[in-house]
Chains A and B, each alone.
Chain A
Amino acid sequence: MIDVGVVGWAQTQHGTLERETHQSLIYRVVNEALSSCGMSIHDIDVVIDAGSDFLDGRGISTCITVDAMGAHFKEESKIAGDGLLAAIYAYMRIASGLFDTALVVAYGKSSESSPRVQSLLMTDPFYLRPMGLDATAAAALQARAYMHHYGVSEEAPARVAVKNRAAGATNINAQLSSEVTLDQVMESRPLVSPIRELEAAPVTDGACAVVMAGEEVAKSLKVRPAWIAGSGHAMDAFSPGAREIHKLRSAALAAAAAYKQAGVTDPSADLDLLEVTESFAHQELMLYEALGLCEEGEGEKLLISGATALGGRVPVNLSGGALCANPVVATGLVRLAEACARVADRGEGDRIDGMSKAMAHAAGGLAMQTAACMIVQG
């Protein structure tokens, strides 16, 4: 298997981007990612992109956006899921030796339609859709089941929001860049209880692109890559009622695969940073457990210990995470770009001294049915 490096990455400013089309977002982020590693679109063998036809309101929407991503006259495939899955796909294409370079693009403009209806369209037409179950309601059922099962306090998810909003305040690309207090979170409007407004990710437009190359090309570039050490992806059952909804079985399986490949035996000691997709605050606590940072049911304790904050033993979401910007479909690829920026020694300001190994996590589906993980090292 060929060693693969993430050699370039870029993300857009996230927010309600009224002047940006899908194409303009893609075009800019692709060019920035390519120039970050001194490559041009002509150096790219294959383009793997992630988008949502329903979000875009167009069928097989890459047929339309192919011009902006520079994929015409190249091999191109689309993932109907988070961009981190596209990254895993691109990684395997290069690792196989069949391709030398790949461009991964993910984009979403959630502000153009109704996020509630969008998530409702993910449900099956017989059992869930007639009930109007959207992503927030499904996450609320998950949150209550999780908190009840393990005796998690009502403030615990709010504390995740406080931590991540504080981190996001230093992230120039974040949509929400102000700190919030515990009281502000606890007093924010209930969406679907127990989830409050400040415990849910915002509606975000944004895009992200990364460039990958096999060892030979990666070493010929002037910039240091973040090397891919492992990846994993897993699905849980579709029906929330057919899962153990108080656990994230798919995240645990995805992480186990990535850890095995990367030789990670004790995640909280072996990883210097995690960037995870916590579309709802309680999910970060569940992820601490599923990703093996602590024992089952100990997520709140880990959070309160400060281990997952900046300067802690195993910081999680130094970017502010999805709670500060959630460009659906691109959110997980943003996590990868953030992880790469922290560990790759490129003489840029984003790297944190002493950090060499980081993991990015993406989630998809209702109440995190799916999970993807990728480990990178500087």
Chain B
Amino acid sequence: MALKPPELTYMEGESRCDYNWTTGEVVGTFLAALRDHGKMLAGVCESCGQVAVPPTSYCESCGSEVSDLREVGPRGVVMSWARVADDFEGAPAEAPFRYVLVRPAGADTELLHVAPDDDGIRIGATVRPEFRPREQRGGAITDIRWFVPDGAESEGS
């Protein structure tokens, strides 16, 4: 190219768009139960029987419609965890904290959430959800503040 190198290389900008996301019946019922009752509901697949938490409208295992919701937990087992050392914008907890995949009692899938950076958070450990006070809940997955060690080890880690 015959042009000489420009004195301007970048232009700053942002893409911003606000949404009102429709939850649908299944997700909306799940989030409302967190807010109003401090309970975790799982979707029950009418075809393959998979109990999935958090629930989706259609079974992620066989593709059938999920028509029934059932309470699971509150205790669950840590299936994996990962440690976050540094804070970042929009982080769900103050660093250091741990991401956890928790399988609540009675469920066949795992819920992604956070936990304190505590040695009690390890694969096979039993944890329980700590809900935010009722007046701080907004009908979101973050109405559960995090999962904390229950003090008891589960079988067969």
Contacts and interface: CB of A to CB of B under 8 A. Distances in A.
Contact of A57 (B13, B23, B54, B90): B13
A237 interface: yes
A193 B27 CA distance: 31
A239 B60 contact: yes
**Which among A57, A125, A190, A242 has the greatest number of chain B C-beta atoms within 10 A?**
A242
B64 to A, nearest CB: 13
A148 interface: yes
Contacts of B13: 57
Interface in A125-145: 125-128, 130-133, 137, 140-145
A27 to B, nearest CB: 11
Given A57-B15, A140-B99, A239-B56, A190 B9 contact: no
A245 B101 contact: yes
Contacts of B88: 116, 132
Interface size class of B (residues with CB under 8 A): 35 or more
A240 B56 CA distance: 13
A348 interface: no
A246 B115 CA distance: 21
B90 A132 contact: yes
Nearest to B83: A193
A241 B5 CA distance: 50
Interface string A89-114: 00000000000000000000000000
Nearest to A366: B112
A143 B101 CA distance: 12
A152 B91 CA distance: 30
Nearest to B84: A192
Contact of A18 (B9, B19, B110, B140): B9
Contact of A141 (B60, B82, B103): B82
Contacts of A145: 79-80, 101, 123
Contact of B141 (A54, A127, A144, A242): A127
**Which among B61, B82, B103, B114 has the greatest number of chain A C-beta atoms within 10 A?**
B82
A29 to B, nearest CB: 16
Contacts of B56: 239, 242
A266 B130 CA distance: 50
Contacts of B23: 126
B140 A137 contact: no
A241 B84 contact: no
Contacts of A190: 83, 85
20 contacts: A126-B21, A126-B54, A126-B141, A128-B112, A131-B114, A131-B141, A132-B90, A132-B92, A133-B112, A137-B82, A141-B99, A141-B112, A145-B79, A148-B80, A190-B83, A192-B85, A194-B82, A237-B60, A239-B52, A240-B112
Interface of B: 5, 9-10, 13, 15, 19, 21, 23, 27, 31, 52, 54, 56, 60-61, 79-85, 88, 90-92, 99, 101, 103, 109-114, 123, 140-142
